[in-house]
């Protein structure tokens, strides 16, 4: 007798109160992202800087083996693995560009698809709170950004220790490990709020993608225009990219590219995150209530 | 079986200046319950308040013993909800979709997957359960919505217009499923629908809302008997005066396009009064039958369709 003919059957399990109700949202979010066209290829591209920097760490320990490539070893000084090396990885333009591209692929539809296909009511008819929903969606973004920031950062430290065969590197820069974790969390938090905020303001994933990309580079253009006219370095604070780079330099104890306190950039990014939270709280509802 | 799985007292809710619910009191028994009312009566608002989507401006209520204002999470754990509008998660197939929502309800992952297959078989989506949801027809989406509402084996299921957008065959099949689910004595089903015949075929108890107020509630069989008697009359000559006369003694009168007069006779009156008015107005009565009252008649009488 088929299940249909047997009639409705009870489930003999017991519903449990989940410790992390957002976990299924994240798991399925990641799964669906990998199903997207061209995602795997672009994700692979995002990993290229990490592979190059990893190779650099290996080369830094075998500098003599590579000396035949140049007349003097100073030419290979860029291979010196120190906080500057880490800072240049975390704030390099290609990596930031690829992270933005990653956001277009993995983040654009996270909320906008739910708005378009009316699925918010399905989530909120479950024992899911708004915070769980945000957490689940933000964790999808965090998963992908950590793969290109936190994991390579830690890998660099571990590989440096393995290739050098001593703990001297860690003893010289004991704070570097925390800088890697701190900046990875910072950049992930920013991109999570930035992406979810934009994803919540339009039901069309394509427009959201364009907006994620556009706003990021529009801020750069605005900076360029104002800087060109007024020649003031403070206009660098208008650029999202420069703000992220300034904070990155601050985290790794480097001199920022623009001679303005990196803490200002830090506060600007935090303000953007707070603004995103306010918008998200207003936009995400189980039902539309027009009062 | 809990006698009252849903109980609300003096429930008020406003959308700005518009009163959506105005002092609704309800105590719903088990089984399948129909929630009826014209557009804007407050049916969907009531369901959304019971689910905790909306917080009432005034009043209180319990769903499965949980407070609708303070314990929404607990309510949602044990309640299934089938929304009226189409809703899906793009890129998923039916198995992933159903098990995903089962997991969000608190089912263990493996169990949710197993149960998803079972409920998809149950609602008749076994052949297409691995197809992308975006390719589903309206009927399939409706079945899928039912599947996700029952995947976690809820104690109470809210169905908002479960047959909308379905062809006659699909409608019958969905109603059969609902009847089968509600036949389990420990599952209560609350169905909001505009299609009165659907409610009549599935539910034994009905709640009628009108303009945000409770217009009537009770067993359909009781409502049919207690409130009034319905007579179908065909009359000739002075028909308008005859109808006015009936209205003057407190009857509600409806005239169909084929000149059939439906007379809702109040309990304190008897059929002899109708004949007396016909005699007074010199109206010939050529057809006089006590009609079987349908839910449509009750609805018309309660909501005030003349």
Instruction: Note whether B88 contacts A7, CB cutoff 8 Å.
Output: no
Residue spans of alpha helices (H) in chain B: 43-51, 72-78, 94-105, 109-122, 138-150, 168-183, 196-202, 220-226, 239-248, 271-280, 295-303
**B105 vs A contacts (CB less than 8 Å):** 15, 126-127
Confidence band for B225, pLDDT divided at 50, 70 and 90: low
* CA dist A260 → A88, A271, B294 (Å): 18, 18, 79
Tell me what pLDDT residue B306 has.
43
Q: Is B147 on the interface with A (CB under 8 A)?
A: no
Q: Is B106 on the interface with A (CB under 8 A)?
A: yes
ipTM higher than 0.90? no
Per residue in A215-254, pLDDT (tens digit) is: 999 999 999 999 999 989 999 999 999 999 999 999 999 9
**A7 vs B contacts (CB less than 8 Å):** 180, 183
User: Given A3, A21, A118, which is nearest B122 (Cβ)?
Assistant: A3
Instruction: Note whether B76 contacts A24, CB cutoff 8 Å.
Output: no
Confidence band for A291, pLDDT divided at 50, 70 and 90: very low
> What is the distance in angstroms between the Cα of A25 and the nearest Cα belonging to chain B?
8
- Chain A interface, best mutation among B14, B79, B104, B119, by max A CB count within 10 A: B104
**A128 vs B contacts (CB less than 8 Å):** 76, 104
pLDDT at B301 over 70: no
> What is the distance in angstroms between the Cα of A107 and the nearest Cα belonging to chain B?
14
**B96 vs A contacts (CB less than 8 Å):** 28, 31
Q: Is B105 on the interface with A (CB under 8 A)?
A: yes
> What is the distance in angstroms between the Cα of B295 and the nearest Cα belonging to chain A?
27
Instruction: Note whether B111 contacts A32, CB cutoff 8 Å.
Output: no
Per residue in B107-158, pLDDT (tens digit) is: 999 999 999 999 999 999 989 999 999 999 988 999 999 999 999 999 999 9
Q: Which of B282, B278, B280 is nearest to B261 (CA)?
A: B278
Per residue in A114-168, pLDDT (tens digit) is: 999 999 999 999 999 999 999 999 999 999 999 999 999 999 999 999 988 888 8
Per residue in B29-41, pLDDT (tens digit) is: 888 899 988 777 8
Q: What percent of chain B has pLDDT over 70?
A: 92
Grouping H, G, I as helix, E, B as strand and the rest as coil, residue B28 is strand
Q: Is A34 on the interface with B (CB under 8 A)?
A: no
Instruction: Note whether B122 contacts A21, CB cutoff 8 Å.
Output: no
Sheet containing strand B213-219, strands side by side = B79-82, B156-160, B188-192, B32-36, B205-210, B213-219
**A135 vs B contacts (CB less than 8 Å):** none
**A9 vs B contacts (CB less than 8 Å):** 118, 122
Q: Which of A32, A272, A25, A270 is nearest to A130 (CA)?
A: A25
| Contacts A–B by Cβ distance under 8 A | 122
Tell me what pLDDT residue A7 has.
75
Instruction: Note whether A117 contacts B90, CB cutoff 8 Å.
Output: yes
* pTM as predicted: 0.83
Instruction: Note whether A124 contacts B53, CB cutoff 8 Å.
Output: yes
User: Given A3, A121, A129, which is nearest B118 (Cβ)?
Assistant: A3
Instruction: Note whether A8 contacts B181, CB cutoff 8 Å.
Output: yes
**B177 vs A contacts (CB less than 8 Å):** 8
Tell me what pLDDT residue A69 has.
65
Q: What's the rounded mean pLDDT across residues A77-91?
A: 86
Interface of A with B in 132-191 (CB under 8 A): none
Instruction: Search chain A and give the residue with CA nearest B96.
Output: A28
Interface of B with A in 228-267 (CB under 8 A): none
Q: Which of A65, A57, A105 is nearest to A81 (CA)?
A: A57
- Chain B interface, best mutation among A15, A39, A115, by max B CB count within 10 A: A15
Q: Do the bridges between strand B156-160 and strand B58-63 make them parallel or antiparallel, or are there none, so unpaired? A: unpaired
- The DSSP-derived string for chain A is --HHHH------S-----S-TTHHHHHHHHHHHHTSTTHHHHHHHHHHHHHHHHHHHHHHHTTTTTGGGSSSGGGGGGG--SHHHHHHHHT-HHHHHHHHHHHHHHTTHHHHHHHHTTTHHHHHTSS--HHHHHHHHHHHHHHHHHHHTHHHHHHHHHHHHHHHTSSHHHHH-TTHHHHHHHHHHHHHHHHHHHHHHHHTS-S-HHHHHHHHHHHHHHHHHHHHHHHHHH--GGGGGG-HHHHHHHHHHHHTT---SSSS-HHHHHHHHHHHHHHHHHHHHHH--SS----
């Amino acid at each position: 007798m088929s299940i249909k003919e047997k009639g409705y059957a009870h489930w003999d399990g017991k519903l449990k109160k989940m410790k992390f109700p957002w976990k299924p949202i994240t798991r399925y979010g990641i799964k669906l992202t990998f199903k997207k066209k061209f995602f795997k290829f672009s994700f692979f591209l995002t990993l290229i800087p990490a592979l190059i920097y990893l190779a650099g760490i290996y080369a830094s320990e075998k500098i003599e083996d590579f000396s035949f490539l140049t007349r003097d070893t100073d030419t290979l000084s860029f291979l010196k693995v120190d906080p500057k090396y880490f800072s240049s990885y975390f704030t390099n333009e290609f990596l930031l560009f690829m992270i933005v591209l990653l956001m277009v692929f993995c983040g654009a539809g996270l909320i906008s698809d739910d708005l378009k296909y009316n699925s918010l009511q399905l989530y909120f008819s479950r024992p899911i709170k708004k915070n769980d929903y945000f957490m689940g969606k933000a964790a999808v973004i965090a998963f992908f950004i950590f793969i290109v920031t936190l994991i390579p950062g830690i890998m660099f430290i571990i590989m440096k220790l393995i290739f050098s065969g001593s703990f001297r590197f860690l003893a010289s820069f004991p704070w570097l490990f925390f800088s890697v974790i701190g900046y990875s969390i910072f950049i992930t938090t920013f991109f999570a709020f930035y992406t979810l905020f934009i994803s919540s303001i339009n039901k069309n994933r394509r427009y959201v993608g364009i907006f994620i990309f556009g706003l990021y580079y529009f801020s750069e253009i605005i900076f360029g225009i104002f800087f060109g006219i007024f020649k003031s370095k403070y206009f660098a604070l208008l650029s999202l990219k420069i703000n992220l780079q300034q904070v990155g330099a601050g985290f790794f104890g480097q001199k920022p590219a623009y001679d303005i306190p990196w803490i200002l950039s830090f506060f600007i990014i935090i303000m953007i995150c707070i603004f995103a939270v306010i918008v998200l709280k207003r936009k995400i509802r189980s039902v539309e209530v027009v009062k | 079986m809990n006698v009252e799985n849903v109980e609300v007292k003096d429930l008020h809710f406003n959308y700005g200046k518009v009163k959506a619910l105005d002092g609704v009191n309800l105590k719903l028994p088990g089984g399948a319950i129909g929630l009826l009312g014209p557009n804007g009566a407050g049916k969907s608002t009531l369901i959304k308040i019971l689910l905790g989507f909306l917080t009432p401006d005034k009043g209180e209520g319990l769903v499965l013993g949980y407070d609708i204002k303070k314990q929404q999470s607990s309510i949602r754990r044990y309640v299934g909800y089938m929304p009226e509008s189409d809703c899906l998660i793009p890129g998923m197939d039916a198995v992933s979709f159903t098990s995903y929502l089962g997991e969000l309800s608190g089912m263990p992952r493996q169990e949710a997957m197993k149960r998803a297959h079972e409920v998809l078989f149950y609602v008749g989506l076994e052949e297409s359960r691995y197809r992308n949801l975006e390719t589903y027809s309206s009927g399939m989406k409706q079945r899928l919505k039912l599947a996700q509402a029952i995947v976690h084996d809820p104690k109470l299921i809210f169905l908002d217009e479960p047959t909308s957008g379905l062809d006659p065959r699909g409608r019958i099949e969905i109603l059969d499923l609902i009847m089968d689910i509600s036949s389990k004595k420990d599952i209560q089903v609350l169905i909001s629908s505009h299609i009165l015949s659907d409610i009549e075929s599935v539910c034994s108890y009905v709640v009628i809302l009108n303009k945000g107020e409770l217009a009537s509630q009770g067993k359909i069989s009781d409502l049919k008997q207690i409130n009034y008697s319905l007579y179908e009359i065909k009359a000739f000559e002075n028909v308008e005066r005859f109808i006015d006369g009936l209205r003057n003694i407190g009857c509600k009168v409806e005239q169909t396009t084929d000149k059939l007069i439906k007379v809702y006779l109040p309990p304190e009156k008897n059929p002899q009064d109708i004949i007396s008015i016909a005699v007074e107005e010199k109206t010939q009565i050529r057809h006089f039958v006590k009609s079987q009252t349908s839910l449509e008649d009750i609805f018309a009488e309660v909501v005030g369709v003349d």
